[in-house]
Homo-oligomer: A and B are copies of this chain.
């Protein structure tokens, strides 16, 4: 039986294929560049099925997709932050971004940041904002655990999320992982400075 309510396994599989294909396209070209024709072509799902699964059409599909991608990354990030130091977790985070860029031959960016950058749909924008907030909170929690004050932890977490998103954008644009490595070095410096319970001011 399906995990969520009355949906059949077949429907779940269709929904999944649609979301995977949409996530790919969103990470490559953002919302305006991701046509439903291509979503169907890539996923092998028929056009009508898409509107059965997502009755509100594209807006519904992309917002759902961004929330899902963001939640998956958030869960991973939270798990990693539980298991290791903030410094190590942040290192893994940037290494992961770098690997993703290489794996896609610099064809993909962040599945959340990329569509958010060019969105004129407020639902999509708000969904991405919630994702960023979740990531930020997870990092801030770890920073507080390592002795930072609430404000300092929030600011550090915000800067790390921005740095990550920016490095993915610049790295993809320059078709190089160097921005990711430089960002990882800077992130390590930020995490290292004033850590261990003492704030700078």
Contact = CB atoms under 8 A, between A and B. Distances in A.
Nearest to A34: B32
B170 A161 contact: yes
Given A29-B32, A29-B120, A118-B114, A185 B169 contact: no
A120 B164 CA distance: 21
Contact of A120 (B33, B117, B158): B33
A108 to B, nearest CB: 11
- Please classify the interface of chain A as helix (H, G, I), strand (E, B), loop, or mixed, using the class held by over half of its residues: helix
Contacts of A116: 169, 172-173
A179 interface: yes
A118 B179 CA distance: 18
Contacts of A120: 28-29, 33
Interface in A97-129: 109, 113-120, 125, 128-129
A163 interface: yes
A79 interface: no
Contact of A158 (B32, B114, B117, B183): B183
A179 B165 CA distance: 12
Contact of A162 (B29, B129, B166): B166
A156 interface: yes
Contacts of A166: 113, 161-167, 169
A92 interface: no
Report which residue of A154, A156, A169, A179 has the largest number of chain B beta carbons within 10 angstroms of its beta carbon: A169
Given A120-B28, A162-B163, A182 B169 contact: no
Interface of A: 28-33, 109, 113-120, 125, 128-129, 132-133, 154-156, 158-159, 161-167, 169-175, 178-179, 181-183, 185-186, 189-190, 193
